[in-house]
Amino acid sequence: MRSIIFVLLQSILISNLYSQILNIDREGLNDSIYKPWMISSSFALTSDKQKNNIIDVSSNFEINRNLKNNYTIIGIIKNDGVYYGKTIIQNEGQLQLRYRDLDKRKISMESYLQYQWNGAWGMEYRKIIGSNMRFRFLEKRKADLYVAVGLFNESEKWNWQGVSKELVPINAKDISKTVYRLNTYFKYSIKLIDKLDLSTISYIQYPLNNNILKPRWYLESNLYVEANKHLHFLVHWDHIRDNNRYVPIDKFYYSFSTGIQINY
């Protein structure tokens, strides 16, 4: 027997998905109206009865404080957990605070703080603080293109829970590392046709040490289909390739999903 409960509450007109550092905005929606506060939240629960109950719980909360100087302060809390009986299969999430331009300037600064974790990988935490210089190359009614370059400090702690048993050394200890990274990204959004939007963002993050030629690459792409002004369908793809893992887990991970957005 399978039951699914899905609730998505959204109180802003612009729907966003969030990658590691910067949000991906839909194109073709009116972002010129000043609103001092924007709040969105979502919650999803999936329950599947097998030998034990499999429960998947996802939640997301975002609050935006839009300033009159055309900057915004964004706070985000995300968590995703998968449980098989009393066993935790997956526990990942992030806390994020950002300060960035509201797409009004050709050149602007953005700064961010982030804390994230991923139990399936064995990443106990990743703490990030950094800033980017953001350049607007295109901003039209149906398309925009931004490119950025910056620097961030990254502090991580890893255990061996995500590693195959045969690869775990005897008396293995947790690994803690701190590194500066050069961060580069481009973000492109376009309205393909009426009621169909596409957004893509790609990050390349270079460690500033002897492994500078082993960057982390993260890509996220979203296709939005508008059924009506309150209902949107979403097709999502993201992948990450990291050639400089601190523990021997896979270098490449990807995710594909579809969903529904309810706006009001």
CATH number of the domain encompassing residue 68: 2.40.160.40
Q: What pLDDT does residue 60 have?
A: 74
pLDDT along the chain (264 residues), means of 10: 37 34 41 66 63 71 88 90 74 92 92 93 95 92 93 96 91 94 94 90 96 94 81 83 92 81 55
Nearest to 236 by CA among 26, 3, 13: 26
Instruction: Report the predicted TM-score, pTM, of the whole model to 2 decimal places.
Output: 0.78
Task: Please tell me whether residue 227 adopts helix, strand or coil conformation.
Answer: coil
Full domain range(s) for residue 80: 2-262
Q: What pLDDT does residue 23 have?
A: 41
Interval 229-255: pLDDT, tens: 667 777 888 899 998 899 999 999 988
- Total structural domains within the chain: 1
Q: What pLDDT does residue 7 have?
A: 37
CB of 216 closer than 8 Å to CB of 126: no
Q: What pLDDT does residue 34 have?
A: 58
Structure tokens at 86: 């009393």
Nearest to 95 by CA among 132, 60, 141, 130: 60
